Structure 1
């Protein structure tokens, strides 16, 4: 890699453009090779499980998570990678060929596969041939055009399948939350088109009839908060929010960032504002719970609990310690508190053996061949090692809590630092 970078200094602009184009084609070819490898892995795993007498409905369980881990991707995308590979290799040879030679990017191939998902295998092959058999037709087509053309063909081949998929999509409505820059957050609602348009129109109407110093976008955002929570947008909401902040930052003596469970780090001033708002609003109730972190690693090692039921307090401890799902590369919210060593095998109900996981990852590791081992080191850091059925190993460590860490410095290091500083002054 170093030699390639060195040679690039000798390239002129035209050569650099050609290099960029070549690398893009190689990325597409690599994606096609990944698809072939993934489909073959699926075949081998299912054949082995069939030979072992595993029921058909249980074959391949956990494989999507293995694929995601191998790609250093979140497990939620593993199913998409696996379905993409099966479709390309077994049902859509022209799309696969276009991907292999770089005419299609992986994302554009994904769009074609996605829009054909509701079709029968025969109709899917027809769409594949119409879209990609003549690769020259794909030149110059962007994402939107690729998606639109695939939709048109799918609807022409099987209108009822497209309508049925749209009807089924309504059952997948949901609301999600993810961090945004500058201590903001994206709250996204996936709704049927009628409801979504109605919600937006109602917020827009509120902005059209409100006249103050706020912008239209601010009025719409505040109206959304007020209608969902039933309270003014500038008041504290009586909903449990786990805010982790050091005592120094809380009292204004330090500016170490705080951490909001399910969101991530926020400036100390934002954390103080949230606490002050909850304390000053008589309609809200703020409860303080002491967390004990290791001074060197920042790991959560204990928690003062106001609950009498140990399991519920332990679940809260695990939630605060892990933050999000502990499967490597998965940042999904915690839904299950699970035993790393299953209870049926004698695994204890303890903080060390406990893991915060999303639902999908918890179920994936229950498949045959998976194993998870947890431990804590001398500084209280909680680690988990995941071993997949192929023997691949992946590790995760619980994130440190807010606060400065203590670093041990040896006498020799101190002397070296003093001598270097003296040499700097002498120079």
Structure 2
């Protein structure tokens, strides 16, 4: 069925090219189903091996979700979703798995069905699976929203109390996050209970509906959000803590090397200078400088050491600026922990070389039995090597800071502030 699918003939007819795309899409779904079967089998083998080794039931499979994500070259935080999806499809939802294998469902749409059934008992989940996907042909033409809505409807019919209970518990997961957007913008998003979320949106919409100036409806809503949270009009400098790193030559306008803003990433030089200029001009804020030194070739910050078991604030900040995000390969999560690659109880030093920035999930995952992490610094490059219980090896190298490596780096403090000790390359 899938013969010669990867040979693309530019001279083929449009109909043939469409058929090829359709077949490749079905192949992707079939591959996802095979991945699910392999993942479920891997989980069973790991749990059996750990049971035989006397590992307590609640600790079995620890770190496996991270291994699954790494094998898929995905962010480790996604590993739990992949593992849960595979377990549910193989052991509890055979019709959904068959629809995925046949190419009727994509992996994401199968995930939506599994997600909406997660609060149900195994018996109810199997019933939802049969009602939803036993006749897979009826799913043809259904989009994400319809798949999700139908799964929700069936779940409510089977056990509305479980659905309501899950909604009540979901409020504990409320949070706010920020991620980079194109053109020096950011996406600021909040996961809120429906009542609060709708109320916030309604308040912003009302402000926009009753404001008449040269701004668009969306611009008024965005500006109102900023003003109500910060207490200052949009565009006016606000006393907040930001970590902005830039070369002194960039700060003074001698070159246009990009800066680096924590929680965002590379920032054009003109915008970085504008941020520091705003802080300098506003009486309620301040902009101070500290001098850091980088390796002349790699562009990374140089090492510091401490005799303390816990990373002191200055060293932890250095590691955070050096690593920028969690150092586990493929992970883009913000750094929550500053951890020893070689644990302190095994003689690992509290140093920049042995230190790693990690998100909470990845830090706990690498502490599972069978994992090992080593670090090194070669020619100014900080390298980390992660070895999993199945002996897979994954490596990551800390990214260089912005600007030409041979120049000094300034960290802007005050409104754009960090608490960092000054150190030199010695």
Q: How high is the TM-score relative to the length of structure 2?
A: 0.91
C-alpha distance in 2 between matches for 1:291 and 1:169 = 44
Instruction: Give the match for residue 392 of structure 2.
Output: 392
- CA radius of gyration, larger in: 1
Instruction: Give the match for residue 415 of structure 1.
Output: none
Question: What is the Cα deviation at residue 310 of structure 1?
Answer: 7.5
Instruction: Give the match for residue 285 of structure 2.
Output: 284
C-alpha distance in 2 between matches for 1:168 and 1:310 = 35
Name the structure with the higher helix share: 1
C-alpha distance in 2 between matches for 1:291 and 1:161 = 55
Deviation per CA, 1:233-291: give whole Å up to 9, x if none: 22222221110111111111111111101110111001000100111111112221222
Deviation per CA, 1:151-193: give whole Å up to 9, x if none: 1111101010111111111111110100000000011011111
C-alpha distance in 1 between matches for 2:93 and 2:147 = 15
Residues 1:4 and 1:205: Cα distance change in structure 2 (over 3 Å): closer
Asked if the contact 1:291–1:302 (Cα under 8 Å) also holds between the matched residues in 2, the reply is no
Residues 1:190 and 1:14: Cα distance change in structure 2 (over 3 Å): same
Instruction: Give the match for residue 421 of structure 1.
Output: none
Structure 1 counterpart SS, 2:90 = helix
C-alpha distance in 1 between matches for 2:311 and 2:386 = 27
C-alpha distance in 2 between matches for 1:89 and 1:144 = 24
Asked if the contact 2:311–2:350 (Cα under 8 Å) also holds between the matched residues in 1, the reply is no
C-alpha distance in 1 between matches for 2:234 and 2:280 = 16
Instruction: Give the match for residue 383 of structure 1.
Output: 383
Instruction: Give the match for residue 140 of structure 1.
Output: 141
Q: Mark the runs of 5 or more structure 1 residues left unpaired by the alignment.
A: 304-308, 407-427
Structure 1 counterpart SS, 2:384 = strand
> Are 1:210 and 2:180 counterparts?
no
Count of residues in correspondence between the two structures: 398
Structure 2 counterpart SS, 1:245 = strand
Structure 1 counterpart SS, 2:350 = coil
Asked if the contact 1:243–1:260 (Cα under 8 Å) also holds between the matched residues in 2, the reply is yes
Deviates more, 1:364-373 or 1:131-140: 131-140
Deviation per CA, 1:346-374: give whole Å up to 9, x if none: 11100000000000100111100111100
Instruction: Give the match for residue 251 of structure 1.
Output: 252
Deviation per CA, 1:363-420: give whole Å up to 9, x if none: 1111001111001112x111100000100000111111111357xxxxxxxxxxxxxx
Residues 1:216 and 1:7: Cα distance change in structure 2 (over 3 Å): closer
> Are 1:110 and 2:122 counterparts?
no
Alignment of 1:394-409 (within 5 A): 394-405=394-405
Asked if the contact 1:292–1:302 (Cα under 8 Å) also holds between the matched residues in 2, the reply is no
C-alpha distance in 1 between matches for 2:352 and 2:200 = 43
RMSD: 1.6
Deviation per CA, 1:215-235: give whole Å up to 9, x if none: 222222122112112223222
Instruction: Give the match for residue 159 of structure 1.
Output: 160
C-alpha distance in 2 between matches for 1:208 and 1:398 = 47
C-alpha distance in 2 between matches for 1:29 and 1:207 = 48
Asked if the contact 2:326–2:332 (Cα under 8 Å) also holds between the matched residues in 1, the reply is yes
Alignment of 1:242-391 (within 5 A): 242-301=243-302, 311-378=312-379, 380-391=380-391
Question: What is the Cα deviation at residue 136 of structure 1?
Answer: 1.5
Residues 1:59 and 1:192: Cα distance change in structure 2 (over 3 Å): same
Question: What is the Cα deviation at residue 210 of structure 1?
Answer: 2.8
Residues 1:202 and 1:76: Cα distance change in structure 2 (over 3 Å): same
C-alpha distance in 2 between matches for 1:159 and 1:330 = 36
Instruction: Give the match for residue 91 of structure 1.
Output: 92
C-alpha distance in 2 between matches for 1:201 and 1:135 = 40
C-alpha distance in 2 between matches for 1:4 and 1:90 = 32
C-alpha distance in 1 between matches for 2:220 and 2:131 = 48
C-alpha distance in 1 between matches for 2:158 and 2:149 = 14
Question: What is the Cα deviation at residue 5 of structure 1?
Answer: 6.1
Structure 2 counterpart SS, 1:241 = coil
